[in-house]
Chains A and B, each alone.
Chain A
Amino acid sequence: ETGVTQTPRHLVMGMTNKKSLKCEQHLGHNAMYWYKQSAKKPLELMFVYSLEERVENNSVPSRFSPECPNSSHLFLHLHTLQPEDSALYLCASSQEVGTPTDTQYFGPGTRLTVL
């Protein structure tokens, strides 16, 4: 596997379910990110991790809970979601947070539908 992988690619869940999204990067990067992408809207940055430490939590509701056990893996735990949370959830990694030329490497995303 190369680059950034995400599983599952598609997820349908009810509002009372608990599920987790998984992201893995094979690039040796130190930073990982979660974004939400809704139709016709800009990517919304949700969380930023640098060397497994959360450095940014962009006012995200507590029903989204991130976990970064090591610099290669990132999870997004979901519980009691709302239909408006339906979106494409993208994971990204970058070499190092705080460098001027830092660029993002994205995974393919998880298409989430909340019923």
Chain B
Amino acid sequence: SQKIEQNSEALNIQEGKTATLTCNYTNYSPAYLQWYRQDPGRGPVFLLLIRENEKEKRKERLKVTFDTTLKQSLFHITASQPADSATYLCALVPTDSWGKFQFGAGTQVVVTP
């Protein structure tokens, strides 16, 4: 069966450190993968998109990698700040089902001063 797995345990990290989140998928062949941020009581907000032929993508303090061999994406927040505390979701769209976004359950990040 198709699955998207993210670490269900919250990631507690000290301010200034790098947070690394994992998104693993099985039985998908996505052309691209996306990351979203969700704050409590709010809808997810799009952060980054990475294509299958891109190894790495950066946006300010965020970095995403995409390894189609390992079927894994890593999401890094460098120099983390308390304002980065949120739940981060990965999402992919199967190439044979445009529009059918598939989301992981998300990983909560807590950055302490």
Contacts and interface: CB of A to CB of B under 8 A. Distances in A.
Contacts of B98: 97-100, 102
Interface stretch (A12-20, A37-45, A62-70, A71-79): A37-45
B46 A43 contact: no
Interface string B43-64: 1111001010000000000000
Which applies to chain A's interface (DSSP): helix, strand, loop or mixed?
A: loop
Given A98-B99, A108-B41, A43 B89 contact: yes
B79 interface: no
Interface residues of B, number: 26
A104 B38 CA distance: 13
Interface residues of A, number: 29
Contact of A109 (B31, B42, B91): B42
A98 B95 CA distance: 9
Contact of B43 (A40, A45, A100, A108): A108
Interface of A: 4, 31, 33, 40-43, 45, 48, 50, 55-56, 58, 90, 92, 97-109, 111
Interface of B: 4, 8, 31-32, 34, 36, 41-46, 49, 51, 89, 91, 93, 98-106
5 contacts: A45-B102, A97-B99, A99-B98, A102-B98, A105-B46
